[in-house]
Amino acid sequence: MWLNLFRAEFSKILWNRFSTGLLVLIWPFMALLFVVLGPLSIALLEAAQEGIRENPPLWTETALGVWNIPVSIFGRLMLIGFTGVLFGGEYGWNTWKTIVPRNQRIPLLLTKFVALALFVMLAYFVMTIFWTMGWGLSVWVADANYGPTITGEVINTFVGDYLLKAGLTFFAVVIAAGFAALAAMITRSILGSIVGGFIISVAETSSLLGFAFMAFVTGYEHVVQMVRFTPTYAIMNVTNWVEAEQSTNWEVGDQIISSSMETSILVLVVWVLVLIGLTLLAFRCQDLS
């Protein structure tokens, strides 16, 4: 049953060619285009060659940097739009009435989350290959060094950082999808899913301002520490631990906001479980007949 559901969801993703291409596949396609156009433009521009020779990129940082896209505000909004089409579209196309009676609701919705997340992760994985290759060819054209030199230690460090960044992106994808999916369950429409997910995402992203305002009104400054339990801070904090080996420190008045990487990872796990749980609960309570 699970395999059939997974195949069906992947087919739906591929069937939505416009939204899938515009919101997800655009990234590996642009990276593939860079493989051709990047070295060509470098070959034609002497100033660009000189700039690369003076400050050549590192292949490790190039590959890891790709994973920052889906955790950025713009990347999250694109994921919300993609999720809105997949989840909210089921209501607009009236497909729930066809598929729900033959399947249990929880496996159906969980499979949808997994298929969406894996498809997005696969797209960004392919993008890291093309993007790193494109810069490698560009550096080669500029006759510069594309370091660091590949050694056992470099590979071990890179693989660990890469898996951690990819895992962080997986959490970000599921959380963004959770915002839009929950909105889809409530509004039962693509537009409602996208708008609702967008509002929730913006509110969560700007939550520090809300906590700072609450601290000002109530006089209880420690309330700003609550921002440590938001996905935005948790993602930034884990990213900073990976890249700089230190926490993300924010100073708000007399308060220093800081957290360990383990705490931030736990925060992300809780957000994923809560969002999926609420979406499942809302879906189970619906009358789709």
Residue 210: both structure tokens together? 């809300």
What's the confidence (pLDDT) of residue 273? 93
Residues of the chain with pLDDT under 70: 1-2, 5, 93, 96-103, 287-289
pLDDT at 215: 75
Q: What is the pTM of this model?
A: 0.86
Any idea what DSSP says for residue 249?
-
Q: Residue 257 belongs to what H/E stretch?
A: strand 255-257
Instruction: Centre a 10 Å sphere on the Cβ of residue 263 and count the other Cβ atoms it contains.
Output: 15
Q: What angle do CA 234, 237, 238 make, to 5 degrees?
A: 85
DSSP state of 229: G
pLDDT of the residue at 243: 74
Which SS3 state, helix, strand or coil, does residue 94 take?
Answer: coil
3-state DSSP call for residue 251? strand
Alpha carbons 205 and 251: distance in angstroms, whole number: 17
Q: By 3-state DSSP, what share of the chain in percent is helix, strand and coil, each rounded to 5?
A: 80, 0, 15
Q: pLDDT at position 102, please?
A: 53
Instruction: Reply yes or no: is the peptide bond before residue 70 cis, omega within 30 of 0.
Output: no
